[in-house]
Structure 1
Amino acid sequence: MKVAVYTYSSPESLRLRDLIIKGLDEYKIDYDEGHPDIVITIGGDGTLLSAFNKYEDQLDTIRFIGIHTGHLGFYTDWRNFEVHDLVASLKNGAGQSISYPLIEMTAKFSDGQVMKKICLNESTVKNITKTMVCDVYINHELFERFRGDGLCVSTPTGSTAYNKAVGGAVMDPHIIGFQLAEMASLNNRVFRTLGSPTIFGADNILTLRLKDESSIVLTCDREKWVLDSKRHHLVELTFEVSSKKIKFAKYRHTNFWQRVRESFIGDL
């Protein structure tokens, strides 16, 4: 087994990193940041998102473990005072894992360039200067013309993040699919959209074709692109369930609905 630790340079995170590396040495577990079997992140969900982005091309062989140093996160199962137990579980574990679906985003530009990205939480597209207009296609058939601030496409695990903030539904991560949520859509006698979150199954393809060239902001998890050039403007976005999944080491993995209750409802 080969283990890597991914963290930011805060004093607490570096302290935990040193404890983990010391524990790995005691248990004769190899440390390898290049091609690890397990990536341990220290911080919160944002740290894990960054680690996911770094190791995106190795998702088939990597399992993640998250240590949170602040509030409970949706991807972090261990606390900062449990480092010894975590390292011991690595030595005694049998390689179990739990996986969650991801979405693949394909962006096409006016100059012919194509960009592909894998999203763990969500992808958003917004117009920052005026109302965004785009045609929404489901399985290559026109469904509606959207007018509003923007659109959010999220994974099931990402449904509790920005998607929920813009009125999207919380999805069970055992559902292999993704979700589209509207941001401040215009709905009146002239302009109409469905006006509610839309959940797509595993075999569906969602296509967004933008109708103008003004300032567009495109995001995929923590990455952001500001696109305001008429020579290189965003023309089309396509979303579908990725063939890749993210895997978490199942030494101790908190139930998704328990996380939802603890994060948004609290003690009853």
Structure 2
Amino acid sequence: MRVAVYSNHTDDSNRVTKRINQLLEQTDIIIDDVSPDVVLSVGGDGTLLSAFHHYRNQLSHVRFVGIHTGHLGFYTDWRDFEVDQLVDSLKQDNGQRVSYPLMDVDIKYTDGSQEHFVALNESTIKKIENTMVCDIYIKGQLFERFRGDGLCISTPTGSTGYNKSIGGAVIDPSLVGLQLSEIASINNRVFRTLGSPIIVGKDQYLDLELRTEDRLIVSCDQFQAHGLDEQRAIASVRYQISMNEIYFARYRHTNFWERVDEAFIGGSK
């Protein structure tokens, strides 16, 4: 088996990474940062998201393991003091995994060019200044004309991130679909939107048709920003559940709702 160690390079993460490398050198496991079977993410959720995007072209055969060295991470099953147990689990690996859905993000520009991205958590679209205006289509049918600061489209696991902070619902990942939440929408006697988050199934897709040629920012997992080029405005963005999935090596599985409980409530037991 080939293993890569992806770290955020803080002092604590460097210490854990050093320990992992020492332990792996005593096994038959090969350290391979180029084409690994398992990626060990050392840091927090931000580090794991970065690792996901780094290996996004190898998702069909890569599994991820999160080790957190700071605040409790939503995607991280292992603590920094459990490295020895983790390496023991790697030595007994039999390919066990758990999958979560991903989201395809397809951007079309006014000059005819296109870009494709994949998001694990969410994508946001915002206007740099003033009000963003766009038509929202659900599977080709016009739903509403939105006016406001922006929109957030999230996956089920991503529903616990930025989506939750703007009033979106937390969705069980077994319910595969997309959630669209409004960011400071304008609702008065002239302009109206639903004003509530909407959830569409995995066979649906969302098209955002932009009504202005002002500069907009589209982010994917808060790591990528697009549409800042004044010469190439965003014309539309399509969101849909991806054919790809992310796989986590589950040597021990933490239930999704246990994660929600620990991350936001503090443990109800």
TM-score by length of 1: 0.97
Report what 1:262 is aligned to.
262
- Aligned counterparts of 1:12 and 1:231: Cα–Cα separation in 2: 44
Instruction: Give unmatched runs, 5+ long, in structure 1.
Output: none
Report what 2:188 is aligned to.
188
Report what 1:206 is aligned to.
206
Instruction: Count residues with an aligned counterpart.
Output: 268
Report what 1:18 is aligned to.
18
Report what 2:112 is aligned to.
112
Report what 1:63 is aligned to.
63
CA positional deviation for 1:8 = 2.0
Contact 1:120 1:158 in 2 (8 A): yes
Q: What percent of counterpart residues are identical?
A: 54
1:56 maps to amino acid = R
More displaced stretch, 216-225 vs 151-160 = 216-225
Equivalent residues in 2 for 1:151-162, closer than 5 Å: 151-162=151-162
SS at match of 2:193: coil
Please provide the CA RMSD for this pair. 1.1
Report what 2:233 is aligned to.
233
Equivalent residues in 2 for 1:1-268, closer than 5 Å: 1-225=1-225, 227-268=227-268
CA positional deviation for 1:224 = 3.2
- Aligned counterparts of 1:30 and 1:226: Cα–Cα separation in 2: 37
CA positional deviation for 1:228 = 4.5
SS at match of 1:212: coil
- Aligned counterparts of 1:7 and 1:267: Cα–Cα separation in 2: 27
* Distance verdict in 2 for CA 1:226–1:103, change over 3 Å: closer
- Aligned counterparts of 2:230 and 2:45: Cα–Cα separation in 1: 35
SS at match of 1:22: helix
SS at match of 2:260: helix
* Distance verdict in 2 for CA 1:229–1:213, change over 3 Å: farther
Q: Please identify runs of 4+ aligned residues in structure 1 that moved more than 4 A.
A: none
1:251 maps to amino acid = Y
CA positional deviation for 1:69 = 0.6
Deviation digits for residues 66-112 of structure 1 (CA, Å, limit 9, x no counterpart):
00011211110100000000000011121100000000000000111
- Aligned counterparts of 2:249 and 2:132: Cα–Cα separation in 1: 41
- Aligned counterparts of 2:222 and 2:130: Cα–Cα separation in 1: 23
Contact 1:217 1:224 in 2 (8 A): no
SS at match of 2:81: coil
SS at match of 1:94: coil
TM-score by length of 2: 0.97
- Aligned counterparts of 2:236 and 2:31: Cα–Cα separation in 1: 42
